[in-house]
Structures are given as structure tokens and as C-alpha cells.
A = this chain, B = another copy of it.
């Protein structure tokens, strides 16, 4: 919820009006970045990644991308589609890649600066299914996609949009229209665009320009759209992903290079080996973007964890996941770039495992100083399902973390000498002036946590936090009001969508 309606909603539900005004919209990391690798190990990984790009190279499936790499001096083998990239090319791309990116949003107050030190959360992304306690688990459709957007919009601690549910009832060649319309009309936060071929990307950019009334120059003043580029680890870049890097770079929009290096599966089984591969693939993606357009917004990224060696299933919130996140941060700082990481859960249900895995990932990214934490709320089953109740419980965790980003004031009054003098030994501070002056804003008010004693909790139905979360998302959806300007944004893209749909839309590549 935005601040006003959240307060109102909570007050309605709980009968108390906490008057707090903590900015959850623009967060800076509260902790210093931690290390799992020695400085020597970071240098060795960086060096071996460069050697990997020079000696082994990357398979690049898109001829246009190979040609761009060649134009920068890469050695191409067209027969094998292998591209070998010199360390001089990498160094040149790192010199032009921006360290700070203005992430635009329909609502200027939602703008973000994507740079080292920023702490940005985006929701569960890429889920084909959705689940909640009322309707069960089902394939995502447009109604679900739009509901998830309402949930994203309703909590300030979700800073940018992500595709939490796939609207699979909309045909693939028209789906991007529905997804952009949903984002522009149900939210005012920074926008996400899937890199599913040039046609969809161009359509999506045009819808943003139309909805926001932007000239070409306006559109490239900062980044209005963000996409995630997953390499096909190991050492392969497929056509849509290569096209995504190229098209986003040309248009001055942000692509987030994200190898998905599961140690033991698509990457070596060791933390260091997985990081060599991830780093090499990141640098290759960044290099492509900078060859297309020096200075194009592009992010370093990683979403590395390990597989379960018995089943091959991806695991999250594990010691390896935590170490890879911290190591990724070290490598991103080594090359001086902002970077993305992720939290997430492999659990099939919103239970203690789900909470534990998510918290481990969130804290890993806190101590790693990740710029952007993707999948920070709602991700179940390793991303196969968006969970409504998990989303609400995860929001609680994000809000608690967000509270830590406001420094303590530590002024003399906070030391509370008068109160300490007034209260007698064995007494209490409930009624002191110092407490009375502050009680309504001193503490974070929980969203879903229940602090009732056991008797009261039982009398109220003995609900778990997963069960309580149901009525919270129901209330949020029931009370949802579209943000200012959404009607106009929707109106300004209606004709375009109708025309383009009539023309056949934009099928994704095979």
C-alpha cells in the first residue's frame, strides 16, 4: 500500500492509528560490505574469467551480436559461433559502463538511483504459476498478473516491478501489450520488459513513450525500462538474450546481466569456480552493451546458488547461496559496478522453510551490499510459483530491513536522562513523558506478525502467519485504488495496442 492507504488499511484492520513516517521508498545499505574471498582470490577469479573469455570464449547464437563483438576486436569462429573477447575490450567496456543509473518511473517520487550503496527490492519474477489459500495452485493468467501488480504497488518497500505471474491466457504474440498496460495502469513504479524478441521490445518501449508522452530524448534521459538477461550458462548467449542486450543498449534502457550459475549443474561445484564462470559471462554481456552504445545502462548481476546433489534440484538460502552472493558483491566492486542479486525459496508452501530460505537470501544480500535484490517477496518452488501468503510474510521481512536504513538520531533527548531519573527502581516507563511523546512512532508496527499471548491467539482462531496473510492480501486487493495518472496512461496506449494487435502483434522468437 502507499503510505496513506497502508496506514488507513492497517488502522481499519487493527483499530489503532500508528503515526509513523519512515521512508521505505529510497533505501541505502545500513551495513558495510562483507567478504568471503581474500583480495587475492578476487583478483585470481577476475583474471581467470578474463582468460576464459580470451582463450575459451563464449558461444553467441545471434549473428548480429557476433558481428558487434567482432567490430570491437573479438575473434570469431563463425562455424562454432564462438566469440573470444580480449581483456582490453573488457577493460574498455568497464570504463564506459555507468556506475550510477537513473531509474525512471511514471511517478517521479518512485524514481531510483541504481548505484553502489542503494538497496532496491523487486518482487518474485518469472513465475508460471500462482498459489493462495483460497484458490489453490494454478497456472498464472491475466487476472493473477494484475493482482500481483496491485500487491507490488501497495507496499512501498517493493521498489520496482517484476513479472510475478505469467498471463498465460493471453496469446504469446499479444502478451507484452497486456503486461505493459497492467504495469502502466495499476502501478507507478519502475517498469519491467521481457526481452522476448525485437518486436516485443520495440512495442514495449513505444507504449512507455506514448503513455508518458516522452520524446526519444526524454526516453533515454535515464532508464525507463529494465530487463533481466539470463545467459545460458555455461558460456552461451542465446538469440533473444543477445537481442535484448543490443536493443536495450541502443535505446538507453537498463539490461541486468544475470548468469544463473547453479554450482554443480550449470557451473563448477566450488564457489570460486562458479564465480569465475558468472564473472566471465557478466563481463561478456556488459562488453556487448558497451560496444553497442558506450555508456549504455547495464548492470552486473548474479543469481547463483547450488543444486541438491541428490536430485539436481536448485536450493536457495543455503551456505553456498550466501557465499556466492557475498562473493558476487566483491567481484562487482572489483570492477566498480552496481549489481543485482536475489533471494528466494525452494519450498512448496509458505512455511518455516520458505521463510528461512528467504531470510537467509535477504541477509546475504544485506551483508553483500547488493544494489538490487530480485525475487525478494513471494517466490516459491524455486520460482515456479508466486505465493500470495508468502508475499505478505516476505513484505514483513523487507519492511523490518527497511527500518534499519534510517539512521538513529542519537540526540541528547534519546539518551532519556529525565525518564531514567523519574522512574523508580523496579518501575516502568509506560507512562513517562519521554515515552508518551514517542510511543505512537517509536516502533515498527507489524503487518502480519501477531504478538497476542497464547490464550488470546487461540481464542481468535489459532491462525498461523500464513493463514493471517490471506485476509491481508484480500484486504489490499479489495481496497486497491489505481495510482494517480493511471487512467491517462492507459488511455494513451489503447489505440496503439488495438492497431498493433490487429497487425498481428509481435510473436516471441522460437
A residues adjacent to B (C-beta < 8 A): 14, 16, 30-32, 34, 36-38, 40-41, 44-45, 48, 51-52, 56, 58-59, 82, 137, 232, 234-236, 263-273, 276-277, 306-315, 317-320, 322-323, 346-357, 359-360, 363, 366-367, 381, 384-385, 390, 393, 396-397, 400, 403-404, 407-408, 410, 412-417, 419-421, 423-430, 432, 434-435, 438-440, 442-444, 446, 448-454, 457-458, 462, 464-466, 469
Contacts and interface: CB of A to CB of B under 8 A. Distances in A.
17 contacts: A32-B32, A36-B408, A44-B412, A234-B426, A265-B428, A265-B429, A265-B430, A269-B435, A270-B442, A276-B417, A315-B443, A315-B451, A318-B400, A349-B462, A355-B355, A356-B465, A363-B366
Nearest to A59: B425
Contacts of A427: 234
Residue among A52, A307, A354, A356 having the largest count of chain B Cβ atoms under 10 Å:
A356
A348 B415 contact: no
A203 B412 CA distance: 48
Contacts of A408: 36-37, 41, 271-272, 323
B367 A234 contact: no
Contacts of A38: 410
A357 B444 CA distance: 13
A446 B319 CA distance: 10
Contact of A466 (B351, B417, B421, B434): B351
A351 to B, nearest CB: 4
B429 A234 contact: yes
A457 B16 contact: no
B444 A319 contact: yes
A59 B313 contact: no
A268 B433 CA distance: 10
Contact of A416 (B37, B82, B270, B315): B270
A442 B347 contact: no
Given A267-B429, A346-B451, A446 B315 contact: yes
A183 B235 CA distance: 56
B59 A426 contact: yes
Contact of A34 (B31, B45, B351, B425): B31
Contacts of A351: 351-352, 464-466
Contacts of A45: 415
B429 A264 contact: yes
Contacts of A451: 308, 311, 313-315, 346
A400 B272 contact: no
A276 B416 contact: yes
B425 A235 contact: yes
Given A352-B465, A454-B137, A414 B270 contact: yes
A-B pairs with the 9 shortest C-beta distances?
A273-B416, A268-B416, A319-B403, A59-B425, A359-B359, A355-B355, A353-B465, A351-B464, A236-B425
Contact of A276 (B34, B393, B420, B423): B420
B352 A443 contact: no
A442 B263 contact: yes
A429 B266 contact: yes
Contacts of A268: 416, 419-420, 429, 432, 434-435
B37 A453 contact: no
B426 A232 contact: yes
Q: Which of A432, A435, A451 has the most CB of B within 10 A?
A: A451
A322 B318 CA distance: 22
Contact of A423 (B36, B234, B271, B438): B234
A5 to B, nearest CB: 20
A326 B196 CA distance: 46
A388 to B, nearest CB: 13
Contacts of A52: 420
